[in-house]
Amino acid sequence: MKIKEINVNRFIAKSNIEGIDFVVNSYVGCPNGCMFCYATFMKNLSSHDEEWGEFLDVKITGYKLRSVSVRNKTYLMSSTTDCYNKYEEQYMITRNILSQLVKFDFNLIIATRNKLILRDLDLIKEFKNVKVVMSINTLDDNLRECLEKESPISERLDTLKELKKNKIYTILNISPFLPYLTDYKKIIEKTKDFACEYHFEFLKLRDDARRKVLKFINDNYKDLYLDYAKIYLLNDNTYFDNLKIEIEEYCLNNNIKYKI
C-alpha cells in the first residue's frame, strides 16, 4: 500500500449525485479495493500507477471551516473513498472534519463499510440530522472476501446494530446488488431489527471492473456467466427491470422502507 500525505485547500465539493448537494472525501483512493468499485476513475484523476486499493492519499489541510451552505442541504461523506478505512484510525482526518462540521445544521449522510465509525459515535450523535449507510451485498463472507479486501459482514452488521442502539438512523445499502447472487430477502430478514431503511443499488460495470467481475463469475460461477454476459455485454436490462418490480412488491408487502 502506497500512502502519501497531500496538502489540500478544501475537502468539500459540489455534488452531481441525485439528492446530494455536497460530497466530503477525506482520502483519495480506498484500501477496501472492491472489485466492482465505481470510483476507480479517481486513480486516473490523481495520476496514480498503482492498482485501485493499493494507494491512499491522505488529505492534510490546515483549512478551517467558518461557514458552509446549510439550508436544506445534504452532505455525503464519502462518495469516492471509505472515510472509515483502516488508516483513518491513525490519521483521524474524518474525525477532524466531523468535529468542524458538527457546529453546522444540515443533513449529513455517512457511508462506510467499516466498524471504525463507532469510534466517532460521540461526535455523530451531536449532529441533528444524520444517517449512516452501511453497504453489504451478501451474508456470505467467502464471497465478500473475493470481492472486497476489508471488513467482515458480521462486523458491519454489529456496527449497524450499535448505531441503531444509539438512536442513529441506519440505512442498509444492498450494494452492489449482484445478479443471481445477492439474496436480498435473507439480508432483510437478518437485519430488519436494526436497519431503518434499505437502499438497493444494482451492479453497474464499466471498463476494468467489468473485465474483472466477468472473469470472476466465469472462474467461480460458470453457470451464471451467460446471464452476466447478457446483462453486461449485451446490455439486456430485463433481469433488473423484473427484479425492481419484485423488490418493490416485497418491500410494500412487508412494510419495509426502501429506495431503488
Binding site for ligand SF4 (CB under 6 A): 30, 32-34, 37, 39, 80-82, 113
Kind and range of the H or E run holding 136: strand 129-136
Residue 40 Cβ vs ligand SF4, minimum distance, rounded to whole Å = 7
Shortest Å, Cβ 237 to ligand SF4: 22
**Shortest reach from residue 39's CB to ligand SF4, in Å:** 4
Joined together, the cell numbers standing for residue 32 give 477496501
What grid cell was written down for 187? 439480508
Q: Cell triple for residue 62?
A: 490546515
User: Which burial class, exposed, middle or buried, applies to 167 when counting CB atoms under 10 A from its CB (0-12, 13-18, 19+)?
Assistant: exposed
Q: How far apart are CA 244 and CA 260, in angstroms?
A: 7
- Residue nearer to ligand SF4 on the CB measure, 149 or 192: 149
**Please, what is the minimum distance in Å from the beta carbon of residue 54 to ligand SF4?**
11
If the CB atoms of residues 46 and 230 are measured against ligand SF4, the closer one turns out to be 46
Rounded to a whole number of angstroms, the minimum distance from the CB of residue 192 to ligand SF4 is: 24
Q: Which is nearer to ligand SF4, 38 or 250 (CB)?
A: 38
Query: Which one-letter DSSP state was computed for residue 223?
Result: G
| Cβ 132 to ligand SF4 shortest distance, Å | 14
Tell me how far apart the alpha carbons of residues 238 and 183 are, in angstroms, rounded to a whole number: 18
- For residues 132 and 170, the answer to whether their CB atoms sit within 8 Å is yes
Nearer to ligand SF4, 34 or 172 (CB): 34
Nearer to ligand SF4, 26 or 81 (CB): 81
N residues, the chain: 260
Give the count of beta carbons closer than 10 Å to the beta carbon of residue 52.
21
Nearer to ligand SF4, 39 or 243 (CB): 39
Contact (CB, 8 A) for 129 and 167: no
Cβ neighbours of 172 (radius 10 Å): 26
